[in-house]
């Protein structure tokens, strides 16, 4: 595994190059996706069915074959192995509890002039959740996307999940049952995004689309942004582990690998001021790789984008972490809480030696949909707030408006907006 030290010549450049990850905008992809969206808008259900038969080799004969009943979701849940069923239930309960704490309420106040000002908070009416099919079809993603929407009070949650050859992961359906998903369609790709954004005869148009997908899905989400809301366009997963003091190198090495096994372009970085610990972690990673089913992926990820970084001290690590703005950050040291207070940018911060990132993926409670590729500089984990929106409330009293109307009148004249000025003037001269 790549070994760096902040004392290396050109360290900053090497480190910046390691972090750089730019998705290429493929013009051909955009044309294909725009065409799919236009065709779905024009031909509705029929075109979605046709593409689903073609791309997913789905055996559906008519569009209604692509909708799953609530009974089938419930059945999938009830037929789970009891241990898995309990685990899924515990995860759902904990995710629900954490997200309930996130729910925002409206507020208002009366100002000194007697005018009422405030903010009303309402849930979105209808949202679409995209769940990838095939290998990356994760029940945990269903919980993490649908439960915040449910907690927000969204009236209708519509899930789309492609079923290649008509085959679905029953655990995904069980998770949809647990998370209160209202309707499920077994469709995917840009055609599913288009159907959710614009609606078809059968699928009602939604107000926002969340959830990860392949490059067709990402391009389609970007294209429909504005028509509907979208969550962030996710990049490869990342972890940054910082450790100092007494630590189990085997544990730390497995935490690093838990990101590396996701994807050959996933990024796993381990930072420490302790050279011996870096050696031990490097060795443990090699040892673990001998036994890991996804060793090929993890090995490529580490070779491509991984690094072990020696720092002079904790402050240097803080600065690097704030530069990376990692999706997942583990702080494995006694003073984890104090160190976390210096972290300005991270999707989720896992503190102490008993908080592996993997429990955050499933059942700690916070969301596992987190900002990647440094976007934690300006964005947040998926949350209840993504399924709520605000309206400003303004109510002036007959007396209270006078000062405000006078002010608005003066400023509107400066902006040459005469109707604005006159509209205000009526109220202060009334």
Range 386-405, binding a second copy (CB under 8 A): 389-398, 400-401, 403-405
Which residues 157-216 are close enough to bind a second copy by CB under 8 A?
Answer: 171, 207-208
> What is the spatial distance between Cα 257 and Cα 290, in angstroms, rounded to a whole number?
12
Rounded alpha-carbon distances, angstroms, from residue 200 to 40, 62, 195: 8, 14, 6
Instruction: Give, as ranges, the residues between 131 and 150 that touch a second copy (CB under 8 A).
Output: 135, 138-140
Min separation Cβ 65 and a second copy, Å: 27
Considering only residues 91, 159, 197, 321, which one is a binding residue for a second copy as defined by CB under 8 A? 91
Cβ proximity to a second copy, 10 vs 416, nearer residue: 416
Torsion angles phi and psi, residue 394, rounded to 5: -140, 125
* 362 binds a second copy, rule: CB under 8 A: yes
Residue with tokens 């160190």: 339
The answer on whether 334 is annotated among ligand-binding residues is no
DSSP state of 235: -
423 near a second copy, rule: CB under 8 A? yes
Q: Which lies closer to a second copy via its Cβ, residue 74 or residue 377? A: 377
Helix extents (H) in 64-169: 70-78, 82-100, 139-152
Phi, psi of 395 (to 5 degrees): -140, 110
428 is known to lie in a ligand binding site: no
Q: Which of 121, 113, 109 is nearest to 396 (CA)?
A: 113
What is the set of active-site residues?
Answer: 327-328
The residue within the footprint of a second copy, chosen from 35, 279, 378, 429 (CB under 8 A), is 378
Chain positions 231 to 290 lying near a second copy, rule: CB under 8 A, are: 232-233, 248, 250-251, 254-255, 257-258, 260-262, 288
Minimum CB–partner distance for residue 155 and a second copy (Å): 9
The CB-of-267 to a second copy minimum distance in angstroms stands at: 15
Three-state secondary structure call for residue 210: strand
332 forms part of the interface with a second copy (CB under 8 A):
no
Contact status: 42 vs a second copy (CB under 8 A): no
Stretch that binds a second copy, among 1-9, 158-166, 185-193, 220-228 (CB under 8 A): 220-228
Phi, psi of 64 (to 5 degrees): -65, -20
> Which two structure tokens, joined as six digits, stand for 5?
């030290």
Tell whether residue 367 is a contact of a second copy (CB under 8 A): yes
Which residue, 188 or 356, has its beta carbon nearer to a second copy? 356
Cα–Cα distance, 166 to 291 (Å, whole number): 33
Minimum distance between the CB of residue 51 and a second copy, rounded to whole angstroms? 22
Q: Is 319 in the site for a second copy (CB under 8 A)?
A: no
- Stretch (H or E) spanning 110: strand 107-110
Question: Which range of residues in 50-58, 62-70, 194-202, 223-231 is near a second copy by CB under 8 A?
Answer: 223-231
Residues 6+ apart with CB under 8 A from 167: none
Q: Establish whether 227 is an annotated binding residue.
A: no
Q: Determine, following the binding rule CB under 8 A, whether residue 98 of this chain makes contact with a second copy.
A: yes
- Closest approach, Cβ 21 to a second copy, in A, equals 11
- The helix (H) or strand (E) run that includes residue 267 is strand 267-272
Given the DSSP bridges, would you call strands 156-160 and 238-243 parallel, antiparallel or unpaired? Answer: unpaired
Is residue 90 at the binding interface for a second copy, with CB under 8 A as the rule?
yes
Query: Encoding tokens for residue 299?
Result: 């090995």
| Side-chain-facing half-sphere of 365: CA atoms under 13 Å | 11
Burial 11-44 (b: 16+ CB within 10 A, else e): eeeebeebbeeeeeeeeebeeebeebbebbeeeb
Query: Regarding beta strands 107-110 and 307-310, do their DSSP bridges make them parallel or antiparallel, or are they unpaired?
Result: unpaired
In the complex with a second copy, the residue whose CB is nearer, 187 or 348, is 348
Q: Residue 365 interacts with a second copy (CB under 8 A)?
A: yes
214 is in an annotated binding site: yes
Number of residues forming the site for a second copy (CB under 8 A):
126
Closest CA to 256 of 313, 298, 316: 298
Looking at residues 103 to 132 of the shown chain, list those that interact with a second copy (rule: CB under 8 A). Answer: 107, 109, 111, 115-117, 119-120, 122, 124-125
Strands 208-210, 126-130: pairing kind:
parallel
Which CB, 11 or 385, lies closer to a second copy? Answer: 385
Binding-site members for Zn(2+) are 259, 262, 361, 420
Binding-site members for substrate are 237, 259, 262, 328, 361, 415, 420
């Amino acid at each position: 595994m790549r070994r760096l030290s902040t004392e290396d010549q050109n360290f900053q450049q090497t480190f910046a190059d390691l972090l750089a990850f730019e998705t290429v905008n493929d013009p051909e992809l955009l044309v294909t996706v725009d065409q799919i969206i236009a065709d779905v808008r024009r031909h509705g259900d029929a075109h979605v069915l046709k593409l689903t038969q073609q791309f997913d080799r789905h055996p559906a004969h008519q569009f209604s074959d692509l909708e799953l009943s609530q009974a089938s979701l419930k059945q999938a849940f009830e037929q789970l192995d009891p241990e898995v069923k309990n685990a899924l239930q515990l995860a759902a309960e904990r995710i629900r509890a954490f997200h309930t704490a996130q729910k925002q309420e409206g507020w208002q106040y009366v100002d000194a002039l007697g005018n009422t000002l405030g903010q009303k908070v309402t849930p979105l009416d209808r949202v679409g959740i995209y769940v990838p099919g095939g290998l990356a079809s994760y029940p945990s993603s269903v919980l993490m996307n649908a439960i915040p929407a449910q907690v927000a009070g969204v009236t209708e949650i519509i899930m789309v999940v492609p079923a290649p050859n008509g085959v679905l992961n029953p655990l995904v359906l069980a998770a949809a049952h647990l998370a209160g998903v209202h309707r499920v369609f077994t469709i995917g790709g840009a055609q599913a995004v288009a159907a959710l954004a614009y609606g078809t005869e059968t699928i009602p148009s939604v107000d926002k689309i969340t959830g990860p997908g392949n490059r067709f899905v990402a391009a389609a989400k970007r294209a429909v942004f504005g028509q509907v809301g979208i969550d962030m366009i996710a990049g490869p997963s990342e972890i940054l582990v910082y450790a100092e003091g007494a630590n189990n190198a085997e544990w730390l090495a497995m935490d690093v690998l838990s990101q590396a096994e996701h994807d050959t372009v996933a990024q796993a970085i381990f930072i420490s001021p302790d050279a011996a610990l870096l050696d031990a972690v490097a060795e443990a990673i090699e040892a673990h790789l001998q036994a890991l089913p996804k060793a090929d992926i993890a090995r490529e990820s580490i070779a491509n984008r991984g690094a072990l970084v020696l720092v002079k001290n904790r402050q240097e690590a803080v600065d690097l972490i704030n530069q990376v703005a990692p999706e997942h950050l583990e702080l494995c040291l006694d003073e984890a809480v104090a160190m976390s207070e210096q972290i300005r940018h991270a999707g989720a911060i896992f503190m102490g030696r008993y908080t592996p990132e993997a429990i955050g993926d499933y059942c700690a409670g916070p969301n596992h949909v987190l900002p990647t590729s440094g976007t934690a500089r300006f964005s947040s984990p998926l949350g209840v707030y993504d399924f709520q929106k605000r309206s400003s409330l303004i109510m002036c009293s007959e007396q209270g408006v006078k000062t405000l109307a006078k002010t608005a009148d003066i400023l509107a004249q400066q902006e040459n907006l005469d109707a604005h000025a006159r509209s205000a003037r009526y109220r202060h001269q009334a």
